[in-house]
């Protein structure tokens, strides 16, 4: 089972930027994991933000397209999320997620598609 540890969260004003990172360990082959970022705001359900498959194919939620960029380093076993033009609505706990049941390919941004989760990192955007 892969272990995931997020970092990089914090507080920023609207319009600012943050970069989240996720370090993976305890795995057989990082290349064979679909990786994703999810977020959950207080009182709301967890929602998919972005995913990236083993070959770099990406998928984004409509709410973050053009503002967020997901990337992965298969050598360092890391996942990143560059977040620009942040809005107060982006305030949430952000989670790194992974799944290898489909050999590293991602099929959706639904939480049930991922079976390994980090503990989360808080992002707060003030207006």
Contacts of 113 (CB under 8 A, 6+ apart): 34, 36, 99, 106, 107
Asked if residue 27 has pLDDT above 70, the reply is no
Instruction: State pLDDT tens for residues 68-78.
Output: 999 999 999 99
Higher pLDDT, residue 70 or 28: 70
Determine the pLDDT at residue 50: 98
Q: pLDDT-derived band of residue 38, with 50, 70 and 90 as boundaries?
A: very high
- Mean pLDDT, residues 55-75: 97
Give the residue among 35, 22, 11, 50 at the shortest CA–CA distance from 105.
Answer: 35
């Amino acid at each position: 089972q892969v272990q995931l540890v997020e970092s990089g969260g914090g507080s920023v004003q609207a319009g600012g930027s943050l970069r989240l990172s996720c370090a993976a360990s305890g795995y057989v082959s990082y290349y064979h994991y679909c990786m994703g970022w999810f977020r959950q705001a207080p009182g709301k359900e967890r929602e998919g933000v972005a995913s990236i498959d083993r070959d770099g194919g990406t998928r984004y939620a409509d709410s973050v397209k053009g503002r967020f960029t997901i990337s992965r380093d298969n050598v360092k076993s890391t996942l990143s999320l560059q977040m620009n033009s942040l809005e107060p609505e982006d305030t949430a706990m952000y989670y790194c997620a992974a799944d290898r049941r489909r050999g590293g390919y991602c099929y959706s941004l639904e939480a049930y598609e991922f079976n390994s989760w980090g503990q989360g990192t808080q992002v707060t955007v003030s207006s």
